[in-house]
Amino acid sequence: MIRNQRRQQGLEYGIFLLCMQALNFGIDKIPPATLIGVIGQTLLYTGLIQVPWNAEDVCISAVKIIKYKNWRSFFLSNFEHGSDMHLYYNMISFILKGFYLEPIYGTMNFILLLIILSTGCSAMYVFLGYILMQLTGDYGYFTTCAIGFSATLFALKVVALCEEHDRMHNINGFIVPSKLAVWLELILIHLLVPNSSFVGHLGGILVGCLYSYTFIGEKIDNLIYALTGIPIIHEEQFYRRRNGLFT
């Protein structure tokens, strides 16, 4: 998620890089929902999918949702991007997370989980914006507008880490355990990419934690199972974490 910028339509360097990386990864190796998500967001960014809004029209802020009830922004802000490199980094991250999680959960389950997590990230962004404004008196938290898929990606990263056996991760040269990897990445992105939305990324992590570590995750899994008839099966470690048995 990045603070809103006007979209430059057309083929840009980031789009070229994304195409090359996807080809090098292997298009046939990318699961279908993930591949469709990458293609869809890329076509949306380039303007090849014609929509009756611009990226700046659907950026999300607490004031737009709470005061003006702009629900279009609530649902669409996750899928717009502020620049070609913003899109590139997000889609590469999405390919890696989808490659890991979609085969485990099943395509339809993964799609529904993406919808739920994305909606949750929007709600968390609005909640944090309002709460931080109340706590700090800084009205900027209430009005700052953001777009991008990275909040959802942070939520997926938490979920993916919970599916793994505990192991060490290399985050920009820092070797840290799984539990700390997502938090270190949050801090590094905030320091290295000043235009990124710290609140949006934090919201994504919190949504991922709610799904992974609390009863909310079980409720979501039960809802998805009721809709698809296919259960989401997690690694044993995931359930141990969710039930507080893993320290």
3 has which bridge partners? 146
143-156 core/surface letters (b: 16 or more CB in 10 A; e: else) = ebbbbbbbbbbbbb
Q: Which of the residues 61, 83, 150, 196 is marked catalytic?
A: 150
Measure the CA–CA gap between 168 and 59, rounded to whole angstroms: 35
Helical residues (DSSP H) of the chain, grouped into ranges:
13-25, 32-46, 62-66, 71-76, 84-105, 107-136, 140-143, 150-163, 178-192, 198-213, 215-228, 236-242
Measure the CA–CA gap between 223 and 219, rounded to whole angstroms: 6
Q: Which of the residues 77, 118, 197, 201 is marked catalytic?
A: 201
Q: What are phi and psi of 243, to 5 degrees?
A: -95, 10
Helix (H, G, I), strand (E, B) or coil at 100: helix
Known active-site residue 201: yes
Known active-site residue 150: yes
CA torsion angle 180 186 189 190 (round to 10):
-130
Catalytic positions are: 150, 201
